[in-house]
Amino acid sequence: MRVPYRKPGIFSQMKQDPLLTAEKLEDLKKKLEHLKDSKPFAASEVARLAELGDFSENVEYQMAKGRLRGINGGIFNLQNQIDNAVLIENSDEVDQVRVGNTVTVEMNGKTKTYKLLGSVESDPSNGVISHNSPVGIALMDKKVGEEFEIERENGNIKCKIISITNI
């Protein structure tokens, strides 16, 4: 079976954000070890099913090959991410908003707290935002007490930095 070639879209060739915390890097290493541990079993399963004969009608063989391909792809992606990782280090300086800071912001009269991390670790529902997000970009390099606006289609948001702390 031949897989059709498709032109890459605009989002398929985007580079991954290398910024990670030490905890996330350890989590990725554990996932990588888990995938590497499961690879020998998947390979032996493919070999066992290959002995059954006709590959074109051997559905179990095709599925096992797909699982092995997924494991190999996952190992490749995780290894690449780990090799290119840049650790977010806590700095003693908290005079400006940087990646790795926790920022308390007053937005249109409401106080919100955000952790500013890399794109891989963003979780907006829990207050963890990427430094590449619109709010993250607006917060970068701001100082305590500084006022600014975030432009949106349905109206601007007035913001003021209340405090900056390390994670």
If one looks up domain 101-166 in CATH, what number appears? 3.10.50.30
Mean pLDDT within 57-72? 91
For residue 58, the Cα-to-chain-centroid distance in whole angstroms is 37
pLDDT of 79: 94
Q: Residue 92: its pLDDT value, please?
A: 74
Task: Measure Cα distances from 86 to 1, 25, 72, 92, 122 in Å.
Answer: 40, 9, 24, 19, 16
CA distance linking residue 102 with residue 80, whole number of Å: 28
pLDDT of amino acid 64? 92
Report pTM.
0.78
The whole-number pLDDT of residue 9 equals: 66
- Looking at the DSSP bridge assignments, the partners of residue 129 are 116
Weakest mean pLDDT among 15-24, 48-57, 149-158: 48-57
Please state which CATH number belongs to domain 19-87.
1.10.287.180
> What is the residue-averaged pLDDT of the chain?
87
CA distances 90 to 20, 47, 50, 98, Å, are: 12, 49, 52, 10
Range with the poorest average pLDDT among 4-13, 72-81, 141-150, 151-160: 4-13
Confidence of residue 14 (pLDDT cuts 50, 70, 90): low
Domain ranges in the chain?
19-87, 101-166
